Amino acid sequence: MADGISTEPHRLESSAGEPAAVAGFASGVWVVVKREMGAYFDSPIAYIYATVFLVLSTTTFMNSFFLDSIVDMSAYFDMLPFLLIPFVPAMTMRTWAEEHAQHTFELLMTLPLRSLQIVLGKYAAALLFYLLILAGTAPIVIMLAWLGSPDMGLIFSSYLGALFLGAFFLSFGLFLSGLTHNQIVAFVLATLMGFAFVVSGHEKVVAVLDGLSPSWQLGTWLLESLSVMPHYESFTRGVLGLGSALYFLLMIGFFVWMNDVTLRRNRY
C-alpha cells in the first residue's frame, strides 16, 4: 500500500516533465531560427538570392508558357530541380563555413543548447527562407487561374514536391557546409551532389550507365535506389505516394543527423 502511494508522485512528475522538456527543446531551436533569419535579412544577400531565383525561374517559365500556350505549371516544375542545383548550395555554403571564417563558431558553441538544437535551428531557418522564395511564385498560379482553369490539385501536389525537393537539397547542403571552413568548397561539393541526385534520374544517363555495365545495370540501380527524380516526379504527376514521401523524409533525416554528428565532433 505504502509503495503504491510513494511511486505515484514520481509518475506525475515524469509525465509533467516530458512536455516541459519538449517545449524547452523547441524554444532552443527557435532561438537559433531567429538568429539565422536575422542574419539572412540583415544583409543584401538574401534579397539578391530571392530576386535572381524568382526572375530566372519565372522568366524561363513565361517563355515556355507563351510557346506552348498551356495553362499549367508543368514547365516550371520540370526545370526546378536544375535551378536548385546551384541555387541551394549558394544558400547553404555560408551556413557553417562563415561561422568558422568569422570566428563565431566558438561563440555559437558556448550557447546553452544541444548540438541538435543548433542544427535544427539553422535547417529550419534555411527551409523557411526557401518557402518564402517559393511563395514568391504565387502570382503565376493567380495568372493561370485568371486565364483558364488549371488543375489546382496537380499544382498543389507539385508545390508539395518542390517543398520536399528543396528541403532535401538544404539538408545535404548544410551537412557539406559543416565539413569545411571554405565557402567555395562547400558550394562545389553541394552542387556536385545535387547534380548527381538529379542527373542520375535522367533516362539518357541511365541508358548510358546501363550500357557501360550491362551485367551490373548501374544506371537502373541508381535510378531506383538513390536518384531524387522518380520521387519528385511522382508529386509533379499528382501522385501523393507514401514511398516518395518516406524517401524524402529519410534522406533529410539522415543528412540532418550527419550534420549533428559533425557538429558534435567539432564541438568537443
- The Cα 55–Cα 191 span in angstroms is 21
- The Cα 75–Cα 62 span in angstroms is 9
- The Cα 109–Cα 102 span in angstroms is 14
pLDDT at 98: 77
The model's pLDDT over 75-118, given as tens digits with 9 standing for 90+, comes to 899 999 999 999 999 989 888 877 777 777 777 777 788 888 89
Instruction: Provide the 8-state DSSP code for 179.
Output: T
Average pLDDT, the chain: 84
Query: How many helices and strands (H and E) does the chain possess?
Result: 12, 0
- The Cα 178–Cα 262 span in angstroms is 7
Instruction: Provide the 8-state DSSP code for 99.
Output: H
- Confidence band (pLDDT; 50, 70, 90) for 267? low
Answer whether 126's CB lies under 8 Å from 36's CB: yes
- The Cα 159–Cα 22 span in angstroms is 30
What integer is the mean pLDDT of 33-55? 84
Closest CA to 104 of 86, 92, 118, 84: 118
